[in-house]
Structures are given as C-alpha cells and as structure tokens.
Amino acid sequence: MNAEVFDMIDNENRFPEKFLWGGAISSSQSEGNANREPSIYDFMPVGNKRTEWFLNGKYNSEEAFYPNREGIHFYQTYKEDIQLFAKMGFKAFRISIAWSRIYPNGEEEIPNPEGLAFYEDVIDELLKYNIEPIITILHYDLPIHLVEKYNGFESRKVVDLYVKFASTLFEHFASKVKYWMTINEINIVKYCPLDAGVKILRKNKEEQIFQISHHLFLASAKAVIEYKKHHYDGKIGMMLGYEPIYPYTCLPEDVLMSEIRENEILFYSDVQILGYYPQYMLNYFKEKKINIKKSNDDDEILKQGKVDYIAISYYSSATCSSDSSISQKRGNITYSVKNPYLKETEWGWQLDPIGLRTSLIRLENRYHLPILIAECGLGIKEEFKQEMIEDDYRIEFFDSHLKEVKKALNYGVNVMGFLAWSPIDMPSAATGEIEKRYGFIYVDANNQGMGSYKRYKKKSFDWFKNVIETNGKNI
Ligand code: BG6
C-alpha cells in the first residue's frame, strides 16, 4: 500500500454532502466585556506577559491595555457579522458561551436571563441563515471570581459549578443546537494551567497539573452524562489541541521519544474517548509518585461520560529529538525543535499541511470516531490601506490544508467538517494581539484598541465562499 494511491483519487469530490464548512470564534476573544462580569481572559495584556503577571499578583494593571475587554465588539455586531458569514455560505459556526454572562460570578443560584437571551439571539440568527450552531461550553474564560476563590479547576467545587453551567445551557439551547463540545483544548492545561483558571502553582507542579486534568475530565464526563440523560437530539464531543509529533531523525531513540510525546497529548483524548486512564499513564504516576485524589465513583463517571466525537484544533506539527542539546520552542500547544523542512510564521508556528492529514489518519486509527476540525488557520500581520487585502498567502494556506483533508477523506477518515479559525480577525488567545490576524474579514483595530472596528472583506473571503459553494470541488 502506498500513500500516492490516495493522492491520485482526489480528482473526485469526496467532501461529504453534509460537510460542516464554516468558522469558529470564542466568546472571550470576540464579544468584549459589555454587560458581564470579568473572566480570566479579561486580564490578558498584549504580549506574552499574562502568566508572569498572574504569578506576581500584578495582573490587573492600571496602565495595561487588555484587548479581550474590547474583543471585536461581537456582542454588539453579531447580526452584521453573521450576515457576512452567511454570505460566505457557512454551513456551521462554532461559538463559545461566556460563563460569566450566564452565571456572572460562577456561583449564583439562578442564571442571568439577559445572558441566556443574548445567546438565544445569536443561535436564532445563525439558524435564520441555516447555519448549524456548534457550541463550546467552556473556551478558557472562567469567571474571575472562581479563579480568585477556588484557584479555578484545582478545586472540585468548580467541577460542580461547571456542570451546573453546562446543564443550564442544555436546558435552554439543546433543542436548537445539535453539536456541543465540553472544554476547548482540554490538554492545554499541561502547558498553561491559567487556561483552567489556576493561578497558584504548587511546588509539585506536575502532580498539580494532573490533579487539575482529573477535574477537567470529571467536568467533561459529568456534562456528557447530563446531556445524554435527557436524550437530546445531538452529539457531544471533546476538543483536543493536536500537534502530531514527528521524530527529528529515524534514530530509534527519537522515534521512541516521539511516541511518548504523542501520548502526552493523546492521554487527554484517551481518557475522554476510552472512558478510563490508560495504563501507560497509571504507570507513569506510579513511577513519579504522583498521587491523584479521586472519589470512589470517579472511575464510573469517566466510563459513563464518554464522548461521541473528537474535535481538534490544528495549526502545526511538532518535532522532537532525544538530543537535549537541540533547542525547542513552544508552538500553539507543545514544544518543538525546528523542523528543517517546514517554514514558520512570524510567531514561530511551523506550517505543515501534510501534518493535518497525518493527524487525521492517526486519530482515525486510534479512535474510529468522527473528527471535527474545529480550528485551523493562519495568523499573520497584515496592513490595511483602504483597499482590498490581497491575502493570497491565506488562500494558499487553506487550499493546501483542505487538499490534505480531502485526501484524508479519500483514505477513509470520517471528517465531519472544517471550521476556519477564525473567519474574522480577533485578539490572539496566547498574546492578546489583534494584529496577529486570522480572518477572511479584516477588523480595523490595532493592538492598542485604536481603530473604527469596521469590517472589510479580504480576498480570501470570496475564495472561501467559492470553496463552500462548490463543496470543495475547486480544492
Ligand atoms: C487555539 C485556541 O489554541 O488557537 C484559540 O483555541 C486561539 O482560542 C487559536 O485563538 C490561535 O491561537 P492564537 O494565540 O494565535 O490566537
């Protein structure tokens, strides 16, 4: 069997008829903070200083500008923005729900009707254009109160509060929303515990991170159980930040290391898909004397709370070497040495379209579950000079990645859809910079929050519209 066979049969259109073409955004990066209490993402200054500032207790600086407090004003502009997505022909659109709009400090007894009404309107607006709403229950933005009082998901109490939040969303929206995912990039906690609301780090950081991971697994599983209990007509999945790990060379030590590094990521999907802790991780805990506090029924919860599908974000692959003298740096998710065959963006993310096909094949082989590409995109600096942005590089990025998706479909992977991150410029999750632009639509704002916030189509807007219109025939 050779891979070229699967390259050759792609002249046929293999994108399924009901392929979920569209885009994805998050509440914290788009809506701005109007009418809600603060979330942890409101304390993301421009640059990469958030973790340092949190650890020093200086995160609420008077002088700093916090771009997520503005977002792109989606709270006010959602109708116009959705109209633009509809013009592109979106079949699906992924949003997340700001926890602090529904339960402002996370602990109230009763949900906030105004917050529910806002999302009801957003969902209705999407449905008006036959766009399938896809909801991420939590995309990093814990109410700051839960961070301050409980140290986020370090506390089991936050698991219960999350489940209450999720149940409220199901109760109100499950009749209209068919696709859910529990926690965005659940594995990011390994590299950035702040994304799980954890600002106080213990001496034994590794044990702490696995304890938090356990709470995230429970939160996700309990939400799945709650969802299934009501027999809602829909699917609930998990979301993994995925970077396939390559060995730097074919030295057996490098290959072995890449397998182990791959498991560091896939541990998070293993638990949520298989419903139990894999043996390799139990052995690791034993070896490292890592003691996870569990309640008696936790194993049963994980078993009952298995997900229906896997959603991934994909931005690049990562490469590892057993030679520790070769330096590594972080991409979106994990650390990587420089892969000499790949170009990288200004932010050092290595571009690898084939890596997307590799990812899809690996996940298919391991789980045999439908896969949703819930995020994929190119963040780049762009200048707007009152004329169309000719973003041929973005067209080339999506064209090359979608070609690989098509080949993965030809190979037999069950890909449910492709959601571009992000169809409209928004502040970066990692650095707060809106000038790291991803959109088919330009938003006139800079890193200091100056600008009209008006929207302008880029060249890629019509290109992506055509891709959707022809169901990928032009790919
Ligand atoms: C994913 C996140 O990690 O990557 C998104 O789910 C994020 O929220 C995206 O925006 C791109 O990362 P960044 O830092 O370039 O915005």
Question: Tens digits of per-residue pLDDT, 389-409?
Answer: 999 999 999 999 999 999 999
Ligand 1: residue of 94, 189, 191, 332 to mutate (most ligand atoms within 8 A of CB) is 332
Find the mean pLDDT for residues 441-453. 95
Instruction: Tell me what pLDDT residue 368 has.
Output: 97
pLDDT digits (tens, 9 = 90+) for 303-351: 999 999 999 999 999 999 999 998 888 888 888 999 999 999 999 999 9
Query: Per DSSP, which regions of 119-178 are E strands?
Result: 132-138
For ligand 1, atom 9: residue with the closest CA: 429
Pocket test for ligand 1, best of 137, 140, 428 (most atoms within 8 A of CB): 428
- The pLDDT tens digits of the residues spanning 99-144 come to 999 999 999 999 999 999 999 999 999 999 999 999 999 999 999 9
Tell me which of 464 and 8 has the higher pLDDT.
Answer: 464
- pLDDT of residue 353 exceeding 90, the answer is yes
Q: Is the pLDDT of residue 151 over 70?
A: yes
Contact between 22 and 92 under an 8 Å Cβ cutoff? The reply is: yes
Mean pLDDT over 267-283 rounds to 98
- Interval 8-26 mean pLDDT: 83
Helix residue ranges, H only, 201-348 = 205-229, 252-274, 279-287, 298-304
Cis peptide before 422 (omega within 30 of 0): yes
Q: Distance from the CA of 371 to the center of ligand 1, in angstroms? A: 19
Query: In this structure, what are the phi and psi dihedrals at residue 455, rounded to the nearest 5 degrees?
Result: -100, 140
Query: What is the full DSSP assignment across 351-386?
Result: P-HHHHHHHHHHHHHHH---EEEEE----B-----S
Q: How far is the CA of 312 from the centre of ligand 1 (A)?
A: 12
At 53 the pLDDT is 84
Q: pTM higher than 0.85, yes or no? A: yes
CA-nearest of 33, 162, 40, 170 to 101 is 33
Structure confidence at residue 6 as a pLDDT band (50, 70, 90): low
In this model, does residue 259 exceed pLDDT 90? yes
Confidence of residue 51 (pLDDT cuts 50, 70, 90): confident
Residue 11 has pLDDT above 60, yes or no: no
Residue 171 catalytic?
no
Nearest-atom number in ligand 1 for the CA of 347 is 15
Q: What is the pLDDT of residue 3?
A: 58
